[in-house]
Structure 1
Amino acid sequence: MSARTVNIHEAKTTFSKLVEAARDGETIVIAKAGAPVAKLTRLGAPEHAVSRLGFLSGQATIPDDFDAWAADEIAAGFGMGPVA
């Protein structure tokens, strides 16, 4: 379900109707100069945020020498000598 977008002026003049729409499950995005600034939703409405943390868990491994990988090349890029 997509959100309806209204500008601040419309939100001020039709606030009661927007609150009723939110109560009925609609999501209203309030925009200023076309840029979204606030969201009006029913209290207790479930958030549909997608958690991205750990989405590739178990699908890759990090080698034990990861921190030392390409150390000489990195040091050379900063004008330093080889890393011991």
Structure 2
Amino acid sequence: MNTIGAFEAKTHLPRLLDRVEHGETLTITRHGKPVAHLIPVNTDRKRAKEAAARIVKRRQHLKCVPLDELISTIHDGHRY
């Protein structure tokens, strides 16, 4: 992730937007402290798809339990 000062970001915004549009992520700093990130729009969508794929992969290893069996198991653990 590249770091750019606020003045440079203001001065060269069109060029920076081109870089971000091509997939680069930039951090904008003010007085050396990070204040903002410029990220491609599709970054959130990509992260969501990756997370969903990980969930699907993990669920493949789980045993499917019928609802009535699950409820019965829960009730067996309770004393009335």
TM-score, with normalisation over the residues of structure 1?
Answer: 0.51
Aligned to 1:5: 3
Q: Using the alignment, how far apart are the partners of 2:41 and 2:3 within structure 1?
A: 18
Aligned counterpart in structure 2 of residue 17 of structure 1, from 15, 24, 32: 15
Deviation (angstroms), 1:11: 0.1
Q: Using the alignment, how far apart are the partners of 1:42 and 1:14 within structure 2?
A: 17
Backbone CA RMSD of aligned residues:
1.6
Residue 45 of structure 1 pairs with residue 43 of structure 2: yes
Which one has a larger percent helix, Structure 1 or Structure 2? Answer: 2
Deviation (angstroms), 1:45: 1.0
Q: How many residues get paired?
A: 46
Deviation (angstroms), 1:31: 0.2
Deviation (angstroms), 1:46: 4.1
Residue 32 of structure 1 pairs with residue 27 of structure 2: no
Q: Using the alignment, how far apart are the partners of 1:41 and 1:18 within structure 2?
A: 11
SS of the aligned residue for 2:43 comes to coil
Deviation (angstroms), 1:7: 0.4
Q: Using the alignment, how far apart are the partners of 2:28 and 2:21 within structure 1?
A: 16
Percent identical among aligned pairs is 33
Superposed structure 1 runs of 4+ greater than 4 Å apart: none
Unaligned runs of 5+ in 1: 49-84
